[in-house]
Amino acid sequence: MPHDLDVAPEIADLLSREDLDRLVRVATVSYECWLCMRPGKLPDPPAVVIILRDGPVSVARLAHRFCSESLVVDMPDQNAMMYDPARAAGVDAGATFLPYQAGHRPALLLEVRATGGMDAGQEERDDRAVGWLLEQGLHLVATAGGEVVTAPGWTVHLRGSTGLRVTGPMGRLYDGELQVASAWRREVTAQGRCLLLVGVGMGLDQVDQAPHSMQGAIGRVDAVAQQGRLAGGLAAIDIT
């Protein structure tokens, strides 16, 4: 565990090694402080892990060390909020091209993932996340090159050279940075919309294994689609 990420002993007992490793990866790339809601990135400033607990349900959050110590916060009657992937899960992003008809099309991949131990097993957590995405107006996607319909209320906001924000009917789903290829940006700008695919199990948090190539993206997208864990739609584009 990095010396600039504090994990209280009682929190270490609640989280698996996989959960802790994932939190470290998130903290070293970019995170939003749970208290002040300002961005952070290890090693400066140092961070802490906070657990939000409602009975048997626990969700991990990151905060600046100068905002809080590492501790467990009991939040009675907050199960519904803690299972909402927009609040209780981390979201990773990747931009790629996917096959479509005789050519290809730009796609933005988002992955929702739990960042803490919960009472439900991983499979049940994944199913809940997909169900929540469908409630927000996205549709199940069968294959990487399949037909998709417009996703009302969803917008992909591109800010400057690397800023990315994705919003839907529920509000913000992703707000961070993503380096995209110039060809990808040109195509979504020309089309005025973007194929948005959101799922679980793609492993986008594993930076070194992210699907930079079209073939790599096809494999990851099709794998989660076959499991019924990929939702998507055509989102509007907003560029500034």
How high is the mean pLDDT of the chain? 82
Residue 119 has pLDDT above 90, yes or no: no
d(CA 109, CA 214): 12
pLDDT top residue among 128 and 240: 240
pLDDT value for 32: 87
pLDDT at 136 over 60: yes
> Which residues pair with residue 198 across a beta bridge?
110, 231
Provide CB contacts within 8 A for 90, sequence distance 6+. Answer: 22, 26, 112, 113, 114, 115, 205
Q: What angle do CA 39, 132, 27 make, to 5 degrees?
A: 25
pLDDT digits (tens, 9 = 90+) for 174-197: 888 888 889 999 999 999 999 999
The answer to whether 189 and 181 are in contact (CB under 8 A) is no
Better-scored residue on pLDDT, 82 or 35: 35
DSSP β-bridge partners for residue 234: 150, 195
Q: pLDDT (tens digit, 9 = 90+) per residue, 200-209?
A: 888 776 644 4
Q: Contact, 194 vs 239, CB < 8 A?
A: no
Quick one: how far is CA 114 from the chain centroid?
Answer: 9
